[in-house]
Amino acid sequence: MTPTAPITSKSNARVKALRASFSGKASQPGDLLGIEGEHLIAEAIRSGLTLETLFIREGSESVLDRPSLSGLEANSTLTLTRDVFASAVETASPQGIAATILLRAPEAHPPQTSRLQPDSIVLILESLQDPGNLGTLIRSTEAFGAQQIFVTPDTVNQWNPKVVRASAGSVFRVPIVRAPLQQIAAQLTQQGTAIYAAVAQQLNSTSLLDTHLAPNCALLIGNEGAGLSADALALAHHRIRIPCSVESLNAAVAGSTLLYEAMRQRSESQRRRLKTQPQRAESQRTQQPPTEAVP
């Protein structure tokens, strides 16, 4: 990449665009999203995203030589002086590299047309407000092999910069569908997906340790303070609790625990099926009548 003369004005149009991209307002396809730091930019590249503009802090050009950024391409590259760069990015200790990307249309279809794969795990989030919680749950969704996330319209924007950072880049790859809860539940139920509501200890529920999750399951997590609404509880097929010595867990901890358990149960079920297949084949072989010799 050819270095450019450093931009020295904080009121430069491109600097203003970078600053605005960190405002948390980006939400629609075509909006500019700002990302900062080597890791997030590397994750964007790994996710097949195109960088619109790459911004380098003067004196930090060597960051481009790091292996994680190999193959880095951008439609344009600009160098900013140290004070201009610091004024445009959100973190207190910037790493010297930032970029803007165009939000693309979600790969997941609206819930009325989305079809889940067999043995799918999905996450439903009702009215989640904390960006860190959402980002953590997006990361856990990818880590534990869930297919996608459904969120209600009042859930925090998944492109909020704090969500993007907390997801460690998983937000670039995990399909997220935003729709009314009734619509989400109706479509999942029609597809044969069992909905499990995570509830506090005192509510009438079944311990997760005693719950055999259905092959197609949706895990429903509520608002950090209020929990799940009465409407959400009415839409769920089962109520489950995570046994612990406190009344309730942080939304991100609870959701991540449920996602892990769903993955563990699915993996165990797959191992059992694989183990029984050779036994069934051997049983069928031994039960076949012997072939008589033709005289």
Over residues 8-17, the pLDDT tens digits come to 999 999 999 9
Q: What is the mean pLDDT of the chain?
A: 90
H runs (alpha helix) in the chain = 13-21, 38-46, 82-88, 131-143, 161-166, 181-190, 230-235, 251-287
Cα 132 to Cα 10, 17, 196: the distances in Å are: 29, 25, 23
State the pLDDT at residue 115: 66
258 CB-near residues (< 8 Å, 6+ apart): 196, 198, 208, 219, 221, 240, 242
Beta-carbon-side half-sphere exposure of residue 247 (alpha carbons within 13 Å): 4
Mean pLDDT of 119-142: 97
Rounded to an integer, what distance in angstroms lies between the CA atom of residue 270 and that of residue 55? 47
pLDDT band at residue 110 using 50, 70 and 90 as cut-offs: very low
Please tell me the pTM assigned to this model. 0.88
Q: What percent of the chain has pLDDT above 70?
A: 89
* Domains of the chain listed by start with CATH number: 13-102 (3.30.1330.30), 121-270 (3.40.1280.10)
Mean pLDDT of 79-102: 95
DSSP code, position 130 = -
Q: Which residue reads 């005289």 in tokens?
A: 295
Rounded to an integer, what distance in angstroms lies between the CA atom of residue 25 and that of residue 187? 29
pLDDT per residue as tens digits for the range 202-254: 678 999 999 999 999 999 999 999 999 999 999 999 999 999 998 889 999 99
The burial of 295, by beta-carbon neighbours within 10 Å (0-12 exposed, 13-18 middle, 19 or more buried), is given as exposed
Task: State how beta strands 148-151 and 121-125 pair.
Answer: parallel
Taking a C-beta distance cutoff of 8 angstroms, is the pair 208, 258 a contact? Answer: yes
Residue type, 110: P
DSSP code, position 27 = -
Rounded to an integer, what distance in angstroms lies between the CA atom of residue 293 and that of residue 287? 18
CA nearest to 27, candidates 149, 206, 155: 155
State the pLDDT at residue 109: 45
Chain centroid to CA 118: how far? 20
